[in-house]
Each structure stands twice: as structure tokens, then as C-alpha cells.
Amino acid sequence: MKKSDSLNINQTVDRRQFLRLSALGLAGLNLSAFCTSCGERKHQTSTARQPNILLFVADDAGWNDVGYHNPQIDTPNIDRLALQGVQLDHFYVCPTCSPTRASLLTGRPASRFGILGPIAGRSRLALPLNSPTLAQSLHASGYATAITGKWHLGLRPEVGPNHYGFEHCYGYLHGQIDQYTHEYKNGDRSWHRNGEFIEETGHATDLIADEAIRFIRQNSGKNTPFFLYVPFSVPHYPLQEPEEWTQRYRTIENESRRLFAASMTHADAAIGRILQALSAEQMEEETLVIFFSDNGGQKDWNPTTEYNMRHGPNDRLGDNTPLCGWKGQLYEGGIRVPAVFYWHGILAPRVLTEVTHVIDIFPTLAALANAPIPN
């Protein structure tokens, strides 16, 4: 990034310009200067400090797996964010999960770290411990930082989120888990809190949301902003959804697709609960909310030994219509995903057609928070 790309801190930016500029990773975007053009009294007060950042990431959700692209999928909370926020219509990620997450947290190509695909099995590959991360930059700027959900950048506690700038971490280390036993496909333990393996009862989607809500409530009323990263375990297989969610899709004949749709709706409801907690603590106007998927939808899943064959096979999973291709491919179906930026009262609803990429998020958020951006 060239210094000439930066905005002068005295330059005002209206809210329609904000996403177009900041999504390009412009390091000089100044929050206070931006807010002077909002004009409305509540915006002046609610954005006087660094904003909270709430980042949701779905696992394997395809282009056509959200309601605002496909009305057959029931995702009212994601849809509200999309219709009242900024839809990034050409937002790109890596074709698989670990590379996307590495690029998100470092602002650099995942290939720089040798992360070329999902970190799997008992691999000792991990994001290098000396890698500057978004969480570290935000923490250095006064943010409370937490992750609740999927890590997938190191499969052992010694390379877990606590070592990369997250003060609080909870969820699982691996790339996939049984939603109820919370074990990896080979039986390894993965569910943890702050680097210590724990045993808990419940569906991973609900537990991840519960922890995120606890973090929001614990940080309510404090004079410091927070960065809360919530990467869900679904709709990635194995698909395990109770009737509460599957009954809504009785008209879908294919059982695998019915389970996939149910997992999207379950995750959306979890997002809704987290957003309700944010609103109940009167923090909505000072929080930037982001949603996107880590890669495109996967076509199917045919396990051979995973989970002792308790789950699958699934002949139909995600839906990337009308895009071509699937997860793991460089066609648009694998790398162009639904993405939304929402900030109540600050970002005007619109559809952004410029090309943006997951690698832009680090410099964008760091600039917004006046946090250090590593060379």
C-alpha cells in the first residue's frame, strides 16, 4: 500500500464513499473526519470513540445459500444486514478455509505462510507465531479481542488463537467437528476455552453464539471497544440439525440439501441472538458488523473413514447458482461469496460492485480503528 493511497485526515468522507474507499484498504481513513459529514446528532456521539467490530464468518456458505440471494433459504437476520447495509457484490476469498482465514487475519496472501489448503489430520503446519495479525493490531490500539468458533490456523493449543492477539478464545481448533461431541473427524479433541480442552453439551452453533453473547455483555459499559470474531462451524459438514430447523424445509426433497438449508437457518438465528444482545446493551450504533463466507459452497461429501462413518454421505450440499464451480476451485463459485458490511446509522444501504477481497479487511479495519498497520 502506497502512502499516496491514504486520505488526508482532514478530508471528510460521506457514508456512501466510506465502504468504496475503506474496502480498498486505504490506511488513512480517519474515523472522526468521516463522522463529521454524517450530520445527524446521534452519529456524532455514537462514533466518538473507536467502533466495536463484530465479524461473522460462515463455513462453506455458497452464493445462493443466503435469503437475500435465494428466497428459498430462510436467513432473516443476514438479510436484514444486507438490505440495511452494504452488500459487497464482488467480494472474493480463497477457495478453501485455512487460506481465507490466514489472509483475513494477516492481510497477506496465505501462500506467504505455506498455507495452501485446509490444515488437516495431525499436521503441525500453523500460521507462524511471529505473524502480525489483525487481533494484535487492534489489541495494541486498546481493543478487547475475542474469537468464539472455528480457528483452523493451527491444530494444537500452543498454536491457538491466544498466541495471535486474541485475549479470549473459545471454540475449536480444527477445520470441522461433530456438532455435538465437538471432536475432529479422526477423534481428536478440539473444543477448548483459552487453550484448555473442555467438555460441553450442546450444538456447536448454539454454544458459539452463547459465548459471543457473554463476551458482549461482559464488555458492555466499558470505556474500551471490542473486536469479536465469530466464525461458525456450519453449514460445513457433518450436518446435524434438530427438527426445529429441518421442519422448515420439508418441501426440499433431497435430505442432504434439506439439512444444509437448516444449518444455514440455525446459524442465522444464532446471529440474530448475538445482534439482539448487541442491541439490548445499546451498542448497535457503535458497532460495525461484517458477514461473509470463507469460501464457496461444497458440491457433496463422500466420507470413507471420518467420524467412524456416523455421518454422510451427502450428495448435495451448497448452492453457488448462478456462479460456476465449487469450493476448492478457482471458478467464481469457489471464491466469490456473499458479504455484507452493516453499521447502523452510518453506512447507507447500497450494493457495492467494485471488486474487494478478504485481504483488504485487515488494513480497512485497522485504519478505521486507528490501529497500527504492519509494513
- Are 326 and 264 contacting, i.e. CB atoms less than 8 angstroms apart? no
Q: Which three cell numbers stand for residue 318?
A: 451448497
147 DSSP β-pair partners:
169, 229
Rounded Cα distance between 33 and 238, Å, is 47
Strand partners, 183: 189
Residues 6 or more apart whose CB falls under 8 angstroms from that of 45 comprise none
Contact 259, 301 (CB under 8 A): no
Given the residues 97, 168, 192, 344, select the one marked as catalytic: 97
Residues sharing a CB contact under 8 Å with residue 112, sequence separation 6 or more, in sequence order: 106
| Residue 1, all three cell numbers | 500500500
Cα–Cα distances (Å) from 45 to 42, 49, 219, 310, in that order, read: 5, 8, 19, 53
Active-site position among 152, 182, 236, 344 = 152
Instruction: Verify whether residue 97 is a known catalytic residue.
Output: yes
Task: Give the list of residues 6+ apart from residue 181 with CB closer than 8 angstroms, or none.
Answer: none
In the residue annotation, 344 being an active-site residue is answered as: no
Cite the active site residues: 97, 152
